[in-house]
Amino acid sequence: MDFKRLAKSFRFATRGTITVIKEEQNIKIYLLIALVNLVLGWFSHLNYTEWAIIVIAVSVTMGVEILNIALEELLDMISPEYNGRTKVIKDIAAGSALVTAIASIIVAILIYFPHWF
């Protein structure tokens, strides 16, 4: 295993993560939601399985949003002028982020509500 190459990969990934956190409003919202989940989970006394499901739901939602952002950036670079096909692609990518966000909300409801009611 090439540890220098691995370390370099982690540096690039970290730089990308920091960039998206600094520049993208949606990621800041997702980070706030993740923090709210930490607080709610702590007060709800979630078990390990419930914590794992919440972490997966939040991570997948954020990951898909980051991919959506990357795709939008790429499309803006390739086609800076308005393009109907580019708009459709961006809308579809945003739709994938919306689907995962809705799924995460459903997961949160399924996990938290039994603890509260």
Q: What's the CATH number where 57 sits?
A: 1.10.287.3610
pTM of the model: 0.90
Q: In whole angstroms, what is the distance from residue 37 CA to residue 58 CA? A: 9
Number of folded domains that form the chain? 1
| pLDDT, mean of residues 51-61 | 97
CA distance to 10, 51, 63, per residue, from 20 (Å): 15, 25, 11
Whether 72 is in a domain gets the answer yes
Q: In whole angstroms, what is the distance from residue 35 CA to residue 30 CA? A: 9
Whether 100 is in a domain gets the answer yes
Range of the domain at 39: 25-116
**Confidence class for position 8, pLDDT limits 50, 70, 90:** very high
Whether 45 is in a domain gets the answer yes
Reported as a single tens digit per residue, the pLDDT across 79-88 is 989 889 999 9
